[in-house]
Amino acid sequence: MRFEIDWDDAFANGAYIDGAAEFPPRWEGAAKGFRANARLRPDIAYGPHPRERYDLFLPDTPPRGLVVFVHGGYWLKFDKSIWSHLAQGPVGQGWAVALPSYTLAPEATIPQITAQIARAVEHAAGEVAGPICLTGHSAGGHLATRMICADTPLPREILDRIAHVLSISGLHDLRPLVQTQMNAELGLTDAVARRESPALHRPHPGIPVTAWVGGHERPEFLRQSALLREEWARKGCATRLYVAEGLHHFNVIDGLAQADSALTQALLSGLGAPE
């Protein structure tokens, strides 16, 4: 008996989350509220395109290091402004936080977006000294892990500063996306999907990685996180998988808005999931 997978359904998060339509305006409101009182350097250019900009949030004291958060949206939607509140947790722990925008598909291909995020990380690293923690949600989780693949665009001096990568509900195997309707805009071929899949790469040595995913996510997102842990652990990377019980794709990121949350603590500790 042969079973066909409906890949469009496999990646359809909102259809399986109660009140899904309420989340984007909730994020936007929280982001606006945080920005109103934050120490912020807005719209720092890291390239010539209008979307090649990042916001840099600063603590009240000299930063302990730099966090870079890369937003999701299947490389097709959103920008940095809707996620500002997710800087609140690391800033509360004394870290600077950069939130970059990037050119969306179909105007940009995923390889081009990968290169943009590398330029954003490198530019922000030039503004803030100390260790670097990379994180991102969904497609942003892909871009965060993509930064430490063997063929990364990042220079060695930046790689040497990366203390931890935490991918939240990340997409680490892009091959199934070739079979989705959204690929009409993503433009992935089989070859590009393989080349841009972090789980199929060898990671840069010595950087600990955490794959963090909600226990109530779609099965494909649970598979993607488990795959990264398995593949990168086999290749010698200190990779941990943490399943946040009871959380789904839209609320699994909420902890980054709180300085004392398990998610924020895991990101900044470099140790991955709490014991």
DSSP string, 181-230: TTHHHH---HHHHHHT-GGGSPBPTT--EEEEEETTS-HHHHHHHHHHHH
- The pLDDT > 70 percentage for the chain reads 97
- CATH T-level fold of 7-269: Rossmann fold (3.40.50)
pLDDT at 274 over 60: no
Q: How many CB atoms lie within 10 A of CB 60?
A: 8
How do the domains of the chain map onto residue ranges? 7-269
In this predicted structure, what is the pLDDT of residue 153? Answer: 95
Which tokens in the block code for residue 241? 């998988």
pLDDT band at 220 (very low <50, low <70, confident <90, very high): very high
Alpha helices in the chain (DSSP H): 7-10, 23-37, 88-92, 110-127, 139-146, 156-159, 183-186, 190-195, 219-234, 262-269
pLDDT at 210 over 70: yes
Model confidence pLDDT, tens digit, residues 17-41: 999 999 999 999 999 999 999 999 9
The pTM for the full model equals 0.96
pLDDT at 140 over 50: yes
Which tokens in the block code for residue 191? 């070859």
- Average pLDDT along the chain: 96
DSSP 3-state percent helix, strand, coil across the chain (nearest 5):
40, 20, 40
Asked if residue 90 lies in contact with residue 64, where contact means CB atoms within 8 angstroms, the answer is no
State yes or no: cis peptide before 100, omega within 30 of 0.
no
Query: CA 211 to CA 167: how far, in whole Å?
Result: 5
In this predicted structure, what is the pLDDT of residue 3? Answer: 61
Model confidence pLDDT, tens digit, residues 1-12: 456 789 999 999
Asked if residue 91 lies in contact with residue 257, where contact means CB atoms within 8 angstroms, the answer is no
Query: CA 260 to CA 91: how far, in whole Å?
Result: 11
Burial of 62 (0-12, 13-18, 19+ CB in 10 A): exposed
137 DSSP β-pair partners = 168
Going by C-beta distance under 8 Å and a sequence separation of 6 or more, which residues neighbour residue 38? 57, 84, 87, 88, 91
Model confidence pLDDT, tens digit, residues 77-132: 999 999 999 999 999 999 999 999 999 999 999 999 999 999 999 999 999 999 99
